[in-house]
A = this chain, B = another copy of it.
Amino acid sequence: MSVSIYDIAKKAGVSPSTVSRALEDHPRISATTRKRIQELAREMDYVPSTVAKSLAANKTWTIGMVLATITDPFMGRVVEGVENVAIEAGFNVFISTSQNDRQREIAAIKMLQKRRVDGVIVIASHLFDQYPRFYGRSKVPIVIINEQKPGESTHFVTVDDVHGAQLAVEHLLALGHCRIGYVGITNRPQSNQHRFKGYQNALEARGIAVDPALIFTSHTIEDHAKVGGASLEPLLAAGATAVFCYNDTTAIGLLAACYKHGISVPENLSITGFDDIDIAAYTIPPLTTIRQPRFELGQRSMRMMLALLSGQLPENQIVPGELVVRQTTACLVSGEMVEAAS
């Protein structure tokens, strides 16, 4: 079908090995033949086969990425960060989604193994702690984003979930709130746990006990926005005046529910998200949230991958989040005023 080095060799009257070397600028090929062959290759529209090269080199210049769904607004930028440094280093990224399904995730991993990717970056996995098992014998490096599995040989880069959550809740506390709800997604066990921990830390630092009535968690794989919406009534019933949401999508769902029920934000309820996805700046009102350096998270994990590929042993990284105060949070007004307003 497509033109190979053999075709070029025949036309140039040289051996295939000479063509190979000429195209790679091998020093032992004379300048004249080199030039002649390179021009010939261009004329003939030669496109080297990565497939053949990979077979020979036992290397595919491909990094596999396993993620739940590409639809998640959080993922996109992370992937772009990975791609950004991957391309710079001559690698490409092969994305494989699990759709939040164990079987499909296993299929995704198998696929990447069959395709002999040089490394795997995992994010929002359901079985990330089983990767060492899958890759037991093989030396394919694995980097995990946002799930710090302590100890062992797993490498990760993650945002500091507990510190980020703490920042958000401290912000709410500083505004005078003390009945602060938590909306969690237990579907993301590690990060959910860490963000809850941060919530807990912030409260306890002020001597406030965690009230179970203010904790709303859901395990739905569905729409996170739906979870946020469902949390409104129970949290209000529990007397919440502010809510810290697991992520922005959850917060947006809560925001929509408030609108629907005539609860005005932030006058009647303060809300914070987590992630700072693109639309967070465009919600009504604009969402106060914790910014995750998503692009950077991707970059860092790919740099870690490159280090691993070159035999180094990089240290795990925990990068801080940053509080972005917008307009869904405000000072607590007295309970009576809230009653009067509604």
Q: Kindly state whether residue A15 has any CB partner on chain B within 8 Å.
A: no
User: CB distance B51 to A60 under 8 Å?
Assistant: yes
CB distance from A321 to the nearest CB of B (A): 20
Q: Which of B87, B139, B279 contacts A279 (CB 8 A)?
A: B279
Say yes or no for A259: interface residue by CB 8 A criterion: yes
**B94 contacts A138, CB within 8 Å?**
no
In the complex, the answer to whether A116 meets B51 with C-beta atoms within 8 Å is: yes
A171 partner residues in chain B, CB cutoff 8 A = none
* Interface CB pairs A-B, < 8 A, 6: A2-B116, A92-B94, A225-B281, A252-B282, A253-B282, A256-B284
The stretch of A26-34, A66-74, A192-200, A235-243 that contacts the partner chain: A66-74
CB distance from A309 to the nearest CB of B (A): 14
CB of A39 within 8 Å of the partner chain:
no
Q: Which of A75-83, A173-181, A204-212, A332-340 contacts B (4 or more CB under 8 A)?
A: A75-83
- Indicate if the CB atoms of B282 and A255 lie closer than 8 Å: yes
Determine how many copies of this chain the complex contains: 2
Interface residues of A (CB under 8 A from B): 1-2, 45, 47-52, 54-55, 58, 60, 69-73, 75-77, 79-80, 83, 87, 92-97, 99, 107, 110-111, 113-116, 137-139, 223, 225, 249, 252-253, 255-256, 259, 278-279, 281-286
Residue of A76, A255, A285 contacting most chain B CB atoms (<10 Å):
A76
When chains A and B are docked, how far (Å) is the Cα of A107 from the Cα of B90? 12
Q: Which residues from chain B contact A87 at a C-beta distance below 8 Å?
A: 107
Docked pose: A205 CA to B38 CA in angstroms:
60
A55 touches B58 (CB 8 A): no
- With A2-B138, A70-B76, A79-B70 known as contacts, the answer to whether A259 contacts B285 (CB < 8 A) is yes
Find chain B residues with CB under 8 A from A225 CB. Answer: 278-279, 281-282
Q: Looking across the interface, which residue of chain B has its beta carbon closest to that of A107?
A: B87
Q: A80 to B107: give the CA distance in the assembly, Å.
A: 16
Closest 10 CB pairs of A and B: A71-B76, A284-B284, A256-B282, A259-B284, A50-B114, A50-B115, A70-B76, A47-B113, A51-B54, A252-B282
